[in-house]
Amino acid sequence: MRDKTEIMGRENEKSLPLRRTRLSVDEYFALMAWVVAQRSTCIIPGRQYGAVVVKNKQVISTGYNGAPRGMKDCIELGYCPKRAKGGTSGMMHEECIAVHAEMNALMQAGRNAEGATLYVNGFPCKLCARMTVNAGIKRVVVCGEYSDTEGLEILKDAGIKVDFVDVSHLLGGLAISQPNPSFPTKKI
């Protein structure tokens, strides 16, 4: 029988423990949503959202919240137009200049979204939930939260499976801003 050093091919790795686990598929794509969110142009702390559309364990598209193409975003403007008009999280969607992460991902996926899974690092708002239903998404995996939970009810009523994956313990070593340290423990 060959020993560990022969298998690894390096004598100096004799004392290193062998890796016994790896990320689940849901953790992998959920973390990807968090990474995509880092491209967000929202300047409000904790409002950076990312979405990943996955089909047959392959990424179809990604999206993050930001201004439409060719328009100035909040970083460039230096302020949040929605907040300047008194808007708060989950309210006055029409005043926000951003296209939501889910919307961007679903638009880029097009008809390829049918039957896919959508990974998001916050609850989909009611507008994004409606788009998710019409895109034909069959499952939504949430790995964060959002102040408006009405979108979750829309998904549930449409028969879309919603799962929650807690990856907060995996984000600690990454330079990633997190919206809220609390995490839902109850399935919708």
What are the residue numbers of the active site? Answer: 102
Residue 117, strand partner residues:
54, 139
Residues 166, 26: Cα–Cα separation, whole Å: 10
Residues 128, 149: Cα–Cα separation, whole Å: 12
